Amino acid sequence: MNFYERELRALKRANRFRERHIYADASIDFASNDYLGLAHRKELLHSACTLLQQYEIHAPKASMLVNGYHPIHQNFERALCLANGFEAGIVLGSGFNANIALIEALARRGDTLFIDEQFHASGMLAVRAIDATVIPFRHNSAEHLESLLRASGSKRNIIVVEGVYSMKGDLLHRDIIDLATRYEALLIVDEAHSSGVIGAHLLGVFDHYNIAVAPNHIKMGTLGKAYGSFGGYILASDHIVTYLINRAKPVIYATAPSLFDTLLAHQALEYIQEHHAALQEQMVRRRTIVEALLEIKMPALIAAIPVGSNTKVLAIQQALLREGIVVGAMRPPTVERAIVRMIARLGESEEMLQFTCKFINNFQVK
Ligand SMILES: Cc1ncc(COP(=O)(O)O)c(C=O)c1O
């Protein structure tokens, strides 16, 4: 038996083996990150198709640095900047690539990069490719971060955090944003799970805390979650975006983002801007249901329900599947201890959400 087969067997023994599944379209979806249910809004699909047909080409063909940059990209970047209050923006092929681009290009030798210990795998991969000093800090702990910043002798400090953490579903501590200002550090905020979900205008964590965007702020986001499309983006000061265009490998050495997906995300941005109040209301109702029935906090739309045992979390997932309901069963190493990860997304009814919460509760106490 070779190394890989032995490792796969060990994963199976520990109930940590992963497989891809194709779920029926008709399944009740409390697992995906399509927070606002936009992935099945046909009017968005139709308008993106209609708009794309008005152009000569429908594929990006080349890197943005060759001739792949298209008015569709530029228009969307401008719309994102205007909505979020940033000077400049750039779209990328994915959120994963956006994090690699930011960390690999901005953190130089002599810098210190402080990263939340629960930051997404894309950032954890990127920090292995840099010469800067990398210091993980305790999850969402402003106290720990401040003690590290105080001790840092670097000219440039970079802080890397998420607006809403993908597994715990908790919100970035406001003090961390303030620390970045006080210590004149660059602040990279991954808004994959907060953009489109929190804030008065559903723009994410700066919007939520009502913090005016400053030159040291960098916002990164995905188009694959609340925006119901595919791709990623970075918003920052003009000089930072220009620097990324000159230095970031996922920008320079990759085909420009899909024109169709960029247009679709642009439609979603306009939809969210137009309907933010109604969407907000629906989200509040879902938060109330989850917090009342499961007795856990859900500041965004991620419910992280502690289970502990890998076997039990899989049993809960299977039992729900028999009811036609899909939830995530997260196990180590993705999380420290097994959780059911339920996304209280707007694409499903409140009644189904209530049913699912009660079902999980009953199962937990058995
Ligand atoms: C926090 C976070 N950042 C980045 C990504 C990557 O974004 P994308 O799926 O667009 O590559 C994800 C998940 O997909 C995520 O959860």
Tens of pLDDT, residue by residue, the chain (366 residues): 799 999 999 999 988 888 999 998 889 999 999 999 999 999 999 999 999 999 999 999 999 999 999 999 999 999 999 999 999 999 999 999 999 999 999 999 999 999 999 999 999 999 999 999 999 999 999 999 999 999 999 999 999 999 999 999 999 999 999 999 999 999 999 999 999 999 999 999 999 999 999 999 999 999 999 999 999 999 999 999 999 999 999 999 999 999 999 999 999 999 999 999 999 999 999 999 999 999 999 999 999 999 999 899 999 999 999 999 999 999 888 898 999 999 999 999 999 999 999 999 998 755
pTM recorded for the entire structure: 0.96
List, by residue range, all CATH 3.90.1150.10 domains of the chain. 19-42+275-365
Of 236, 262, 257, the C-alpha closest to 102 is 236
- In sign, the C-alpha dihedral spanning 350, 351, 355, 358 is positive
Of 125, 96, 58, 49, the C-alpha closest to 231 is 96
Q: Whose CA is nearest to atom 7 of ligand 1?
A: 95
Query: What is residue 314's three-state secondary structure?
Result: helix
Give the atom of ligand 1 at the shortest distance from the alpha carbon of 230. Answer: 10
Give the Cα separation of 264 and 178 in Å (integer). Answer: 34
**Is 54-270 in CATH node 3.30.413.10?**
no
Write down the architecture of domain 19-42+275-365 according to CATH: Alpha-Beta Complex (3.90)
Residue 313, Ramachandran bin (φ over 0: left; ψ between -120 and 50: alpha; else beta): alpha
Task: Report in angstroms the alpha-carbon separations of 249 from 100, 138, 196, 255.
Answer: 9, 30, 28, 11
Q: Are 317 and 340 in contact (CB under 8 A)?
A: yes
Give the Cα separation of 30 and 33 in Å (integer). Answer: 9
Enumerate residues lining ligand 1, CB below 6 A.
Answer: 94-96, 99, 120, 122, 162, 166, 190, 192-193, 222, 224, 232
List, by residue range, all CATH 3.40.640.10 domains of the chain. 54-270
Query: What is residue 110's three-state secondary structure?
Result: coil
Give the atom of ligand 1 at the shortest distance from the alpha carbon of 231. Answer: 10
120 alpha carbon to ligand 1 midpoint, in Å? 7
Structure tokens at 99: 């994090």
Q: What are phi and psi of 140, to 5 degrees?
A: 60, 25
